[in-house]
Amino acid sequence: MTSNVKFLRLKDSSFLFGAHVSAAGGVSNSVDNAFNIGCNSFALFLKSPRKWESKPYTEEEINSFKEKCKKFNYDPRKHILPHGQYFINLANPEKEKAEKSYKSFLDDLKRCESLDIGLYNFHPGSSLKGDHETQLKQLASYINKAIKETSFVKVVLENMAGTGNLVGSDLKDLKYVIDLIEDKSRIGVCIDTCHTFAAGYDLLDKSYDEFWKNFDEVIGFKYLSAIHLNDSKTPLGANRDLHEKLGQGFIGLEFLKRLTSSDFIKNMPIILETPIIKNDDEYGEEIKLLEWIAYENPSEDEFNKKVIMLQEAGATSRSEQMKALEKKSKKLATATKKRVKTEDEKLNPVKKAKL
Ligand SMILES: [Zn+2]
Ligand SMILES: [Zn+2]
């Protein structure tokens, strides 16, 4: 098995750099996949991300997963952060759909506990056409219910990139939900750097400290349980969930220097979900890049060379995204003008009548 190791895992790293790996062919395969690319933490889907229901794990698979964790020295309570299915929406105002989501959500939490996994990350969903606050309350009550039906796994809410009714693009949504959770030791937050940036929270230069200060004031550091580390294909506030490889997007490499000097992200999963073009080796390379920045203290010259190299690699994609955004905002501007005009026309007769 160890013959497949392509990137040696850094021992005693206080930053738990890792990636979202495949669990195809059996959940225990995820442990090998993580080890082979040098992960100190990892994420996986507990079941098919495309189907509501999957077969339960066999006793054999469960044992194999646990054995491999022991063999490769992963503490499943701290180093593994599964990702819930994207279509789970506990904030859905349609009761039937929310119930379906809850079933899959609870099944995931139970799968975690059967594997002794201590953390579970998921998207808090969308209030859709419902009243946002009412749906946040519904989401919290489902989480409370699930916590009662399980015994130790911590439910981790991920922040989102979008706008409007999407829950968690605004950190205040997450705070609202956390306040309603009865057992506060079972709830946490995962900050996805791409989502944060795309949602309009600047992370660069002096805004870096401001963001975390704001995070601490709104949510509180004690709830920070994990990081999803991704660059962003789109600029600040674009509200698009488009992950980019480290250093190639609008966040850039300088940000990673700040992040890897932040003690508050030590000893928690820091998971890459950057786009993979060929295979997982690309994650191995990015983990090594992170370790280089965090531990090898590169000279300014070396660091800047890397900045330029990666920015060049992402240049075409960034300019395409900028063009798309400009086109979209032009369309938006035209649509707004049209709307104002129609509203004006609607208002005019009233004005005339008054005269
Ligand atoms: Zn996610
Ligand atoms: Zn994420």
CATH of the domain at 82: 3.20.20.150
| Residue 233 lies inside a defined structural domain of this protein | yes
Beta carbons of 144 and 187 less than 8 angstroms apart:
no
Tell the burial category of 12 from Cβ atoms under 10 Å away from its Cβ (0-12, 13-18, 19+).
Answer: exposed
* One domain, residues 280 and 336: no
* One domain, residues 100 and 130: yes
Instruction: Give, in order, the Cα–Cα distances in Å from 326 to each of 104, 142, 249, 330, 334.
Output: 39, 40, 17, 6, 12
* One domain, residues 83 and 213: yes
pLDDT of residue 354: 39
Q: Which two tokens stand for residue 77?
A: 């309570």
Beta carbons of 236 and 208 less than 8 angstroms apart:
no
| Residue 224 lies inside a defined structural domain of this protein | yes
* One domain, residues 224 and 352: no
* One domain, residues 225 and 336: no
pLDDT bucket at 352, cuts 50 / 70 / 90: very low
* One domain, residues 164 and 30: yes
Q: How far is the CA of 122 from the centre of ligand 1 (A)?
A: 6
Mean pLDDT within 89-115:
98
Q: How far is the CA of 158 from the centre of ligand 1 (A)?
A: 6
Which pLDDT tens digit goes with each residue over 108-158? 999 999 999 999 999 999 999 999 999 999 999 999 999 999 999 999 999
Which pLDDT tens digit goes with each residue over 17-67? 999 999 999 999 999 999 999 999 999 999 999 999 999 999 999 999 999
* One domain, residues 151 and 205: yes
Q: How far is the CA of 298 from the centre of ligand 1 (A)?
A: 31
Cβ atoms within 10 Å, residue 63: 12
| Residue 274 lies inside a defined structural domain of this protein | yes
| Residue 306 lies inside a defined structural domain of this protein | no
| Residue 98 lies inside a defined structural domain of this protein | yes
* One domain, residues 30 and 85: yes
pLDDT bucket at 163, cuts 50 / 70 / 90: confident
Domain span including residue 354: 314-355
Q: How many domains does the chain have?
A: 2
In the predicted structure, residue 209 carries a pLDDT above the cut 70:
yes
* One domain, residues 97 and 133: yes
| Residue 153 lies inside a defined structural domain of this protein | yes
* One domain, residues 221 and 277: yes
* One domain, residues 290 and 321: no
Chain mean pLDDT for the chain: 94
* One domain, residues 281 and 325: no
pLDDT of residue 196: 98
pLDDT bucket at 347, cuts 50 / 70 / 90: low
pLDDT bucket at 339, cuts 50 / 70 / 90: low
Catalytic center residues: 50, 83, 86, 123, 158, 192, 195, 228, 241, 243, 273
pLDDT bucket at 353, cuts 50 / 70 / 90: very low
Residues with CB under 5 A from ligand 1 (ion): 158
